[in-house]
Chain A
Amino acid sequence: MLTAITRAFRTPDLRNKLLFTLGIIVLFRLGSVLPTPGVNTVNVQQCLKEAQAGDAANIYGMVQLFSGGALLKLSVFALGIMPYITSSIILQLLTVVIPRLEALKKEGQSGTAKITQYTRYLTIGLAVLQSTAFVALARTGQLFPNCRQPLLVNNDVFTVVTMVVVMTAGTSVIMWLGELVTDRGVGNGMSILIFTQVIAVFPSELLNIFRQNAFTFVIVMLVGVFMIAAVVFVEQAQRRVPVQYAKRMVGRRMYGGTSTYIPLKVNQAGIIPVIFASSLLYLPQLLVSLFGNSENPGPIVQWLAQNFVRGDHPVYMVTFFVLIIFFTYFYVSITFNPVEVADNMKKYGGFIPGIRPGRPTAEYLNYVLMRLTAPGSLYLGLISMVPIIALVVAGASQNFPFGGTSILIMVGVGLDTVKQIESQLQQRNYEGFLK
């Protein structure tokens, strides 16, 4: 990988792309630490510090993770890339529901361009909503319920409006930055920016751990490196189901072997099951924080508070694990439809040697997929448990930085990007092969 990158830097146009991407990342980070006008930065810092040491550190940690620390700092890029991602997901879902959008999508490039335009409008809409809600929370002090300091310099309507406008504008700039990376940089803009958000919190957290205890720091680093290696290993693992096409007379093959296959990954589901499971487990925590303060909490709330608020409680751990396994199967079954794939192969003359097209092929694919998903789901579950286990075993700080989600995102985007760089390198670097 390192050689790939050094080689990439020696290829002029690829170097430009890489530098461009890095430049965008720098801009993105700059906007993430730049406070929105009207924010009392000193007080915000104070509250943030208190919150991270307090009871609800888990929740704040998650929020920090997904916004690269920008959200709770109330910065210009506070909303991050999330509104854009949300709106592109929404539009993708709507494309299935609304016939007019479906028709547009079918029209190819010109139609997709229109859909992209709608995505951008929706992003702005979401940004206005989110920033308004968020500024309102900050203004009334609900953002950090335990912190009594005022977060804004004053409570003028003008200040509030300015903040909303600035954050919305920030979101559109992020959207633009993302598209610029996709167009002129390396990798997919959205992914690169999420990647940036996720790793942005690492240095400060690692530094925190180091300050607390140097030994823990070494352990954390070792575990982290080991986990990254393990994740890379499993993410690359795939089962190749050979496919043949019987539509052309096959000429003499020079190299033998087959290069036509369906690559089924061990972790076909990616990171989504973990996100689903952790958001579902948020609900009890939310309920407890809403009703738990009352004088006489009901039995359900009490039970929830006992079992689901602390991450190291056995019930919580088992539930988390089971949910991840469930969602892995669930997500694989909705994203990889063996019947559809078999149908597609049948229509274009493809088949798995020895197996009839249509139903038998679908059944075979399903069989292979289910067997692969078993270790895949266990792997996802284990990786996600690591921070919790580490918590129990080593009594490390709540914010174990190499959480399952962040590692999966990191490795996923990292691998993608390196692969893309490699493939671009391959297209350019022929000189070496030619005498």
Chain B
Amino acid sequence: MASIPRFMRNLLDRPGSANIGAYRRLAAQADGHEERIRALTELPRPRMDDLAEFCAIAREAAHRTLDMRPFDVQLVGALALLNGQVAEMATGEGKTLSGAIAAAGYALRGRRVHVMSVNDYLARRDAEWMGPLYEALGVSVGWIGQSSTREERREAYAKDVTYAPVSEIGFDVLRDRVATSPADLVVPEPSVALIDEADSVLVDEARVPLVLAGAADPGVDAPEAAVLVRRLSRGYHYELDDQGRNVFLTAKGTDAVEKALGGINLYESLDVLTQVNLALHAHALLTRDVDYLVRDGRIHLVNQSRGRVATLQRWPDGLQAAVEAKEALPASETGEILDSITIQGLIRRYPQICGMTGTAVAVEEQLREFYELKVAVIPSNKPCVRVDEPDRVYRTMADKERALAEEITRVHATGRPILVGTLDVSESERLADDLKAAGLDCVVLNAKNDAEEAAIIARAGERSAITVSTQMAGRGTDIRLGEGVAELGGLYVIGSGRHASSRLDDQLRGRAGRQGDPGGSVFLVSLEDALITQFAPEEPLPPAAGEDGLVRHKRAAYVVGHAQRVAEGTHLDIHRNTWRYTRLLERQRDLVLERRNKVLHGDAGAEALAAAAPERWAELTGEVGEAVLGEAARQIVLYHLDRCWTEHLGFMSDVREGIHLRALGHRLSPLDEFHREGVAAYRRLLEEVEKRSIEMFEGATITAEGLDALESGLKRPTATWTYLVQENPFGDAFDRALRRLSPRAKRRQDLDD
């Protein structure tokens, strides 16, 4: 019964946390090998059965090639990664090096490693920076960026270790899934995924599916609706819900719209109503410079969780067009969704997953639930001496902004560098203007390109620097302290409000106090912040503040914490729902792909058509020959598989939209109902593919040159592009709707969970 101690340990351990004792011992053993390895002129190729020796060799290689000698804790981190865990390492502890050592370790075990980062800049920087280390260990390395060509990608994927932004890998997978010739495939069989900024990728980004779209029709202009809704007034014609996420017409508004459109009944004309609703959403809920920017005649979405322009994101098509109409821009081409994959679906293709980040413990539960990952907390090399002050809570926004300016002026006078983290782009600009008006020089960081950002943030530790940034600006870059700054108390981080997740707060705080440097942080919060008005609107507010607007009552901290916990809970629910509802589709997709691969790589298509229409087949074989006909059959079946899948996706997203209503007839779980619909639709999908393929085959024009696609009606999208769907503004309404429904439904949901 040797498993009893282990059982007890599992029982007592916090779920999801890993024991790092063994790694520490290995790292200590590595010290023993150090002398011997250092004396060698040429490093041996590490044998992966002795991890201590591997660590020693990797350490020496890093020392010789990069002039960095990894600390023990960095080796501990690498070992946790090699054991398939998520390593939590504080900012500035050298995650990049730990990751590279682990990636090399996997590669030496004969695995192919994809190191996934959050953006192009980091993928390229890390691959090039760590290149010499890999070379010394005999491991090849490559990287992929947004602008890499197909050839470059294929070359990079052929290396032992490939650095790439997670979205690029996802898009490559998506493109491969609609390839019509085996020669077009790019991505190799998945093996090991090593994820940088794991919490951001696995949890925050996981709410947003990656989408492959194809151009269908030119966009629909809806300027009339845009003009129409501009005349409506809030509170009279339309209202917003409590959380400001949804907008709807009042009876008076409906009257006004119906009259303006010539006396139609709005609720009998779905298309018109949809346009009006979308125009109203664009008009009332999306604010220029907060939710999107207009630049070069195009709409650029701002990613709220990163505070930067999300070049690849679009709103669902109707909404995108409505926003374009609102800004009087020409409608961009609309697309239809050909295929999509969630980050979760992408990552779980890999048999081995590991990751690293500065803030993993807070999402321990989710990493365990969604990815079966454990978190290993790696101690920092030197203890953190940063001083985190308690939040200062102000009654009004104006009080907070005044206090913020005062605090900056006060600290700036001492010469201490300041990093201000703001919540959105417009706030950062407003603050910068205020500071400039007050005669303070500051650098603003928002929505610029990653490389430039990294360079700016690297200078934020200079004496007297004031840097105003949005949330995630420059993640992955260290702020080194300038000369004499340590004596002043190091970098001072001020948050202009708590984020929707405590992890983002911690990331911001973590900018100061790297590697035992001194530093400080404080958050200034107002009770009028969006976090509180959106997520804790009904909480009684603490009693009146003092002269300066500062609320000293202890209830203030509770309200702020509560609002943040509600926000976190909401996001977790969205994540869980996304996952539950996409799991079925991804399973179906896998099955369709299995079939598709048989057609793509084999003769499954030809065999099926030959069996279904033997006469036609025999006739055509005589005319054009077996080979040409086989290829034509392949193209026909592939086309219909893809076409029907697209329609299936469209149908299922329609179903999902209203599935929560099923909870009203009690005893019906919306998820089960969704599955029921999904399974039935899937059966029809396969029948439909077969039926349409045979139909097209019977009528197709097939000559010696092959299938005449146009004549036969095989029209693939003229262009495909990839994007991330902006967190669907309607999609999470689903969840809220579910919660608001009858108490019985609520109770059932609770019980079912």
Which A residues form the contact surface with B (CB < 8 A)? 92, 99, 103, 106-112, 182, 188, 190, 238, 243-255, 259-265, 268, 270, 335-337, 340-341, 344-351, 353-359, 412, 415-416, 419-420, 423, 426-427, 430, 433-435
Contacts and interface: CB of A to CB of B under 8 A. Distances in A.
Given A182-B751, A356-B267, A344 B675 contact: no
13 contacts: A92-B743, A107-B566, A108-B573, A109-B569, A190-B751, A244-B658, A249-B318, A251-B647, A254-B684, A350-B661, A427-B675, A434-B591, A435-B595
B682 A433 contact: yes
B524 interface: no
Contact of A103 (B317, B562, B594, B752): B562
A106 B569 contact: yes
Given A103-B562, A247-B281, A348-B246, 18 more contacts: A106-B536, A106-B569, A109-B365, A110-B565, A246-B277, A247-B657, A247-B730, A248-B319, A249-B321, A250-B270, A260-B657, A262-B665, A263-B664, A336-B742, A353-B267, A354-B265, A354-B268, A427-B587
B662 A263 contact: yes
A15 to B, nearest CB: 20
A110 B569 contact: yes
B737 interface: yes
A349 B742 contact: no
B539 interface: yes
B158 interface: no
B683 A433 contact: yes
A247 B281 CA distance: 9
B658 A243 contact: yes
Given A246-B277, A247-B277, A347 B248 contact: yes
A107 B569 contact: yes
A262 B539 contact: no
B468 interface: no
A188 B752 contact: yes
Given A260-B658, A355-B267, A254 B565 contact: no
Contact of A357 (B246, B267, B535, B682): B267
A251 B336 contact: yes
B533 interface: no
B747 interface: yes
Interface stretch (B18-26, B401-409, B666-674): B666-674
Interface stretch (B418-426, B458-466, B509-517, B648-656): B648-656
A293 to B, nearest CB: 43
A251, A252, A358 — most chain B CB neighbours (10 Å): A251
B270 A244 contact: yes
B720 to A, nearest CB: 17
Interface in B258-284: 265-268, 270-271, 273-274, 277-278, 281
Interface in B317-342: 317-319, 321, 334, 336
A276 B647 CA distance: 49
Interface of B: 220, 241, 246, 248-251, 254, 265-268, 270-271, 273-274, 277-278, 281, 316-319, 321, 334, 336, 365, 535-536, 539-540, 562, 565-566, 568-570, 572-573, 584, 587-588, 591, 594-595, 644, 647-648, 650-651, 653-655, 657-659, 661-662, 664-669, 672, 675-677, 679, 681-684, 686, 688, 730, 733-734, 736-737, 740-744, 747, 750-753
A349 B277 CA distance: 8
B683 to A, nearest CB: 6
Contact of B654 (A260, A354, A356): A260
A32 B367 CA distance: 40
A350 B683 CA distance: 28
Given A261-B661, A336-B664, A420 B672 contact: yes
Contacts of B249: 357
Given A108-B573, A247-B278, A340 B220 contact: no
A261 B575 CA distance: 25
Contacts of B733: 347-348
B717 to A, nearest CB: 14
B570, B683, B684, B744 — most chain A CB neighbours (10 Å): B744
B565 A255 contact: no
Contacts of A188: 751-752
A242 B650 CA distance: 19
Contact of B570 (A108, A243, A268): A108
- Report the 8 A-B pairs with minimum CB-CB distance, sorted nearest first: A108-B569, A260-B658, A263-B665, A249-B318, A254-B647, A423-B672, A246-B273, A251-B650
A346 B565 contact: no
Contact of A350 (B572, B573, B658, B679): B658
A421 B595 CA distance: 27
Contacts of A259: 654-655, 658, 677
Contacts of A335: 666, 742-744
B350 to A, nearest CB: 22
Contact of B587 (A253, A357, A430): A430
A378 B730 CA distance: 41
Nearest to A96: B743
A253 B652 CA distance: 10
Contact of B251 (A108, A264, A358): A358
Contacts of A262: 661-662, 664-665
Contact of B650 (A99, A252, A347): A252
A28 B406 CA distance: 67
Nearest to B539: A103
Nearest to A266: B665
Given A423-B676, A426-B675, A247 B274 contact: yes
Contacts of A252: 647, 650
Nearest to A235: B667
Given A260-B657, A349-B248, A246 B668 contact: no
Contact of A112 (B659, B750, B752): B750
A431 to B, nearest CB: 9
Nearest to B246: A347
Given A109-B569, A253-B654, A248 B265 contact: no
Contacts of B278: 247, 249
Nearest to B751: A188
B667, B742, B752 — most chain A CB neighbours (10 Å): B667
A236 to B, nearest CB: 10
B316 A248 contact: yes
A337 B651 contact: no
Contacts of B584: 427
B565 A253 contact: no
Nearest to A265: B665
Contacts of B251: 356, 358-359
Contacts of A348: 246, 730, 733-734, 736-737
A353 B265 CA distance: 10
